[in-house]
Structure 1
């Protein structure tokens, strides 16, 4: 039995369960099931290398024995497939519109990393119809059984979709470079998530730095400002990725640096970051699974507003 057939069978079973629960009003997260970690990657601005980080970390996680799914959640600008050098036939829009099943949209990238590609024509989630939301919910609920990690590559900035995905995930990695605009915009994103939605836990991952000394210097200055104006927030240092000409060459070749140049300095740091994050205890494991992720995502930011 191939992967697509297996996924279709699981989707059908789970979809029927969800439809039944919807009718009885008993849709709740399955808190007894240990679900995958759902990690959102975000940045205050574009051009900080966030998507590159997601792709290469996915490969590093895979080599540690994890079953990894990437969701390209930059719905207006698909990039994951470009970095992998792949041309998927279908994307998330086909699921939203009910044209394709999840198993027909997920495609396998290098080293067994699975990917849900985005589309340049997908609208804001706030504009989806109830039928489209149900299509998403029914399709994604079954993923708890299939993966250990869901890496969500959000768009840059503070659009409603970016906020949606960061609220739905239980772990958030903010990617920052030493550039003042990157630091300022990352601070603005965290500020919105903290003051408006009560999010208090983040990782900070430094990219395009000269060395670890510069990375920790930027991290120290950033957290000092955050502590001053947002007391009680936790921003953990996740590591750094150095400036690396080989990484840029890999991008030009449409190939992850983990595959193109496995002995490069950036590749070594991707391994260190993946190893560190793998050893971190997910304190929100119960709420961090994919099933609950999609329930909260489809419920929308409005629900989060009501809780603040």
Structure 2
């Protein structure tokens, strides 16, 4: 395909971004948004049995792979499983993984239809209990095992809201080989919805977690990350937190102004290396 044809396809794609699945709260979509095709992939929408309803989502996997595939559970941003999260699943599938992103707000509403982040947090996100999310991640784990995943080679990753949930799930599911948490908060107020935070469970971690953060992130103070580093060091596990000096919150979100291409590319490769190093490959 010529460069001009690729540019035309990108313009058509971005022109219809809202209708094909980018959350309304993140419009407009950046012109440089990365688009990963589904060539040689099988993609679809799972119906994940949670015991209290079928949870939708998105999965991607190599189309003609033989034998069970290594697994990555992809935990959504605060904006839900919109097009960016689906694209990340396709990127992982191109690396040979079965990648599945469950719609973890499905009982409470559709984040893609909410046009501003304050309303999204107040009317939806704040009503989703950690206990429900973690149970639904267990259901995703079971679904993946029944649909071609090798659970002996499994990892979890998550972004923003999902980065925090990644730390929590790494403490919960000790069968995971590795985890990568992207700019998820590590401490904060506790209540019945969020009774514990990553800093509270650092001593319980047996799954090695790679934390990927930006020093310019105004929502996650460096002091919080230093406390998390100290707690992890005290626990003595094989965990690490990388802090990119020039990156802010959402530095991997290529559809937004927060995107930092250099650091995103580096962090993505470090995540893949982390998974391979710890047996999730």
User: Same fold by TM-score, threshold 0.5 exceeded?
Assistant: no
Name the TM-score, length of structure 1 as normaliser. Answer: 0.39
